[in-house]
A = this chain, B = another copy of it.
Amino acid sequence: MGRQETLELLWGLRAAPKRGPKAAFGVADVAAAAVEIADSDGVGAVSMEQVAARLGYTKMSLYRYVDSKAALLAVMIELAIGEPPDLSRVRGGWRGQARRWCELMWQTWDRHPWVPHATVGERPVGPNEVGWSVAALTTFTDIGLSRGDTVDAVALLSGHLRNTYAVTAAGSQPWTDQVRPDEELRDVMARTGVSYPSLDQVVAGRPLSADRRSFGLERILDGIELHLQREGVGASV
């Protein structure tokens, strides 16, 4: 029910029962079923009833394995993101590793588009998620950053990545229904007579390039590199 129990579940610290009937299924099955639902119908479609129905059992049987909906979400995330990558052999220095980390995370999200949304905020994290964070952390270790700045660099990078995903991977957005939301907004703004020069300037002309992924990332990496140079320590490669 609490964070404690969920954490123990995530980290495999639950003692296996010795007596009683054999379990017909387990946490892994629950998580798998839930992830399938989330992948196809969105995370909003994941309910205890739906998951149980997919497994062929009743809703309440799930509570034998996942103490709560929050715990279910947690094991879903663990299953979805999977084992963290090993970046130690990636070439291109810390910049190359950071880029690779983003690529891999992105690919994972492409398979499970609900994950970036589900991983906001404070919550119990499992070994896979910690592993991913550590992979990023290792990338920024021993390049000349202070301890605090290292943590901040990881937060900066991963946060940016999550922000960009929802916007850029617009294909997974549910507004396939004829009207684009920015068009609607433009129409309404025109009707109210509101106009902003800087906005018009941006909107005018040819539509913007679809590849809007690299700018933010490269700016962040540039900023970190510049910081290293100013601190007088960093070896860029």
Contact = CB atoms under 8 A, between A and B. Distances in A.
A193 to B, nearest CB: 10
A20 interface: no
B12 A121 contact: no
Nearest to A213: B152
Interface residues of A, number: 67
Q: How many chain copies?
A: 2
Contacts of A208: 147-148, 151
Contacts of A223: 218-224, 226
Interface in A147-197: 147-153, 155-156, 159-160, 162-164, 166-167, 173, 175, 179, 181, 184-185, 188-189, 191-192, 194, 196-197
A225 to B, nearest CB: 8
10 contacts: A3-B181, A11-B192, A13-B192, A122-B175, A124-B185, A127-B194, A130-B185, A147-B201, A156-B220, A219-B223
Given A11-B194, A152-B215, A221-B223, 9 more contacts: A11-B189, A12-B192, A127-B194, A137-B198, A147-B205, A153-B219, A163-B163, A220-B223, A222-B226
